[in-house]
Amino acid sequence: MRNAPTILHLDMDAFYASVEQAAKPSLRGKAVVVGGLGPRGVVATASYEARVFGVHSAMPMAQARRLAPNAAYLVPRFSVYRSVSEQVMALLRELSPLVEPLSLDEAFVDLEARGAAWDAESARQTGTRLRADIRAVTGLTGSVGLAASKMLAKIASEQAKPDGLVLIEPGTERALLGPMPVRTLPGVGPATGDHLRRAGITTVEELAEAGEDELVRLLGRAHGQALYAMALARDDRPVVAERETKSVSVEDTYDVDIHDRLRVGLEVQRLADRCVRRLREAGLSGRTIVLKVRRYDFSTLTRSETLRGPTDDPAVVREAAARLLESVDTTGGVRLLGVGVSGLADYTQEDLFAQAAGERASEPPVEEADPVVVEEEPRPEERHWRPGQDVRHAAYGPGWVQGSGLGRVTVRFETPQSGPGRVRTFRVDDAELEPAEPLPLVQGPDHPPPCPGQSDGPRHRAPPELPEAGLSATADQEGPGTCQASSVPASLPKSWSGRVEDGAMSRP
């Protein structure tokens, strides 16, 4: 472990929820929960305002709604999160060539690699500038930890949350770690923590006092030795710039168990196509096709097949996944399906047609494939609007979907640069309302902010009044073409939490 605290760990604060708050002025300072909105959805991220009520990531969405019924519940917008993440990672790479991303919102940086820091004071200054740059470029906040090792830098960033910086001075590591619970150390999950607790070990100091031999006896050689070293604040892991991708996979959890075998097969084909799209976007191919099936009783089965060479051919992946499905009994119902490809390479074996089961018809490129429509399902007569979705109205300009149901969609018209906007309700098939691309969180000089309440084109007449249908526009609406930031209540009205259940907004 080095002597200077020049390993930096950045963790963006409540990343998905913070992006949504930055994009939607009316949600700033409010409880926001991002995740799957179906009956089996889970929380991806909760804003700090929502965490006050006990909501946290990986919690079932139904439980989150019970804890925070008046929060705004939004679907994830991963394209926006990836775009913001790329801006943040670009700032990190300006500091050092050694940047190790852990996720969209988290990364390690070796500040010594390019001379960005060499002692405690220079490291602190670099971390302070980084936080300011992130705020200027993205409008968001991140927490920074600085230490002499990756383990300690991550612990420091946790202590810094939210929107702070913590530097662990060399020589103070043991005193800092000692009183912390054993779960603080990486690799100590609930099971290991319970095992240590039963042995009378609850803090890092007690872990160090137990000694290496005792930890090896309790946890096995590899885990015991590693944990003892961490308890002594020893961590020599380097920052690795390129983390090798081992597999590419996609999966879907279904709100209602799928029993029909044909529907299961069609879902597997659709997932195979999505998986190949990700492969091609990454410039990869793979040899091993993996099928994952979680059945009605939560039992999870995994099947795999290894081809003679790597491929990114959608037909080959589809047919291999279909063959794997044949060996799985799905009669009781399926709640989750997944398709993955491993054994990755950066080239493709061209002659793989013999691997397909029999001759296959000519297939369109995967990029042009239309989504599979299950025949037994009725054709939807209405457009489906999702809470948090970006939209644009011909008369009122850009906004986002607040909720939908009963043939109505409620939209709040505001932009990242405006004040909180007005709410209006339309029929779901309103021809003047369309999905839109997300607006940048921080407006550049070449793109003046659009004015909510005003379209880029000619003005149109306001839509006619809509009958009461469980959703209604606010009473203080203005005519089209205005550019006034409206005042909003200090908290979200109890009549709306942006939640959709079975296609309709639930009432309080």
Query: Which residues, listed in sequence order, are joined to residue 306 by a DSSP beta bridge?
Result: 288
- Whether the predicted pLDDT of 286 surpasses 60: yes
* Among 260, 261, 275, 376, residue whose Cα is nearest residue 318: 275
Pseudo-torsion of CA 37, 43, 49, 52, nearest 10°?
120
What's the pLDDT band for 349 if we cut at 50, 70, 90?
very low
- Whether the predicted pLDDT of 492 surpasses 60: no
- The SS3 assignment for 60 reads strand
CA angle 280, 281, 282 (to 5 degrees): 90
pLDDT of residue 3: 80
Q: Taking residues 37-51, what's their average pLDDT?
A: 90
Q: How many residues does the chain have?
A: 508
pLDDT in tens, 64-93: 999 999 999 999 998 899 999 999 999 999
- Establish whether 106 is a catalytic residue: yes
Residue 384 belongs to what H/E stretch?
Answer: none
Query: Which residues, listed in sequence order, are joined to residue 425 by a DSSP beta bridge?
Result: 410
Query: What tokens appear for 244 in the block?
Result: 């090798």
Angle between helices 78-95 and 120-138 (to 10 degrees): 150
- Whether the predicted pLDDT of 261 surpasses 50: yes
pLDDT of residue 192: 86
Beta strand 408-413 with 247-258 is unpaired
Residue 323: count of CB within 10 angstroms of its CB: 15
Question: Is the separation of the CB atoms in 233 and 149 below 8 Å?
Answer: yes
How does 206-241 read in b/e, with b if 16+ C-beta sit within 10 Å? Answer: bbbebebeebbebbeeeebebbbbbbebebeeebeb
In the chain, how many H helices and how many E strands?
13, 19
- The SS3 assignment for 220 reads coil
- Whether the predicted pLDDT of 461 surpasses 80: no
CA dist 437 → 59, 245, 481 (Å): 29, 29, 21
Q: How far is CA 483 from the centre of its chain?
A: 33
pLDDT in tens, 187-226: 788 888 888 999 999 999 999 999 999 999 988 888 889 8
Q: Where are the alpha helices (DSSP H) in 142-248?
A: 150-160, 173-177, 190-198, 204-210, 212-219, 221-231
- Whether the predicted pLDDT of 497 surpasses 90: no
Q: How does DSSP classify residue 382?
A: S
Query: What tokens appear for 136 in the block?
Result: 């200027």
If phi > 0 it is left, if psi is from -120 to 50 it is alpha, else beta; for residue 143 that is beta
Ranges 291-300, 348-357, 460-469, most confident: 291-300
CA–CA dist 431, 127 (Å, integer):
49
Q: Which H, E and C letters describe 456-499, residue by residue?
A: CCCCCCCCCCCCCCCCCCCCCCCCCCCCCCCCCCCCCCCCCCCC
In the Cβ-directed half-sphere of 114, how many Cα atoms lie within 13 Å? Answer: 11
How does 435-463 read in b/e, with b if 16+ C-beta sit within 10 Å? Answer: eeebbbbeeeeeeeebbbbbbeeeeeeeb
CA Rg, the chain, in Å? 26
What's the pLDDT band for 21 if we cut at 50, 70, 90?
very high
Query: What tokens appear for 84 in the block?
Result: 């913001």
CA angle 281, 284, 290 (to 5 degrees): 100
Question: Is the separation of the CB atoms in 47 and 440 below 8 Å?
Answer: no
Q: At residue 249, what are phi and psi to the nearest 5 degrees?
A: -150, 160
Q: Taking residues 481-490, what's their average pLDDT?
A: 34
Residue 371: count of CB within 10 angstroms of its CB: 7
CA dist 98 → 4, 12, 173 (Å): 16, 19, 24
Q: Taking residues 495-502, what's their average pLDDT?
A: 33
pLDDT in tens, 389-423: 999 999 999 999 998 888 999 999 999 999 999 99
pLDDT of residue 203: 92
Pseudo-torsion of CA 19, 23, 26, 32, nearest 10°?
-20
pLDDT of residue 37: 86
Question: Is the separation of the CB atoms in 74 and 32 below 8 Å?
Answer: yes
Better-predicted residue by pLDDT, 29 or 478: 29
Q: Where are the alpha helices (DSSP H) in 282-344?
A: 314-325
How does 30-55 read in b/e, with b if 16+ C-beta sit within 10 Å? Answer: bbbbbbbbbeebbbbbbbbbbbebeb
> Which one is catalytic: 20, 106, 319, 414?
106
pLDDT of residue 288: 93
pLDDT of residue 444: 66
- Whether the predicted pLDDT of 273 surpasses 80: yes
pLDDT in tens, 468-485: 333 333 333 333 333 433
Q: Taking residues 417-436, what's their average pLDDT?
A: 92
CA–CA dist 403, 411 (Å, integer):
7
Residue type present at position 113: A
Residue 270 belongs to what H/E stretch?
Answer: helix 261-281
Q: Where are the alpha helices (DSSP H) in 8-109?
A: 15-23, 48-51, 61-67, 78-95
Q: In 94-172, where do the E strands start and end? A: 99-103, 106-110, 142-147, 165-167
pLDDT of residue 502: 30
pLDDT of residue 357: 44
Least confident segment among 80-94, 110-124, 269-283, 371-385: 371-385
pLDDT of residue 450: 52
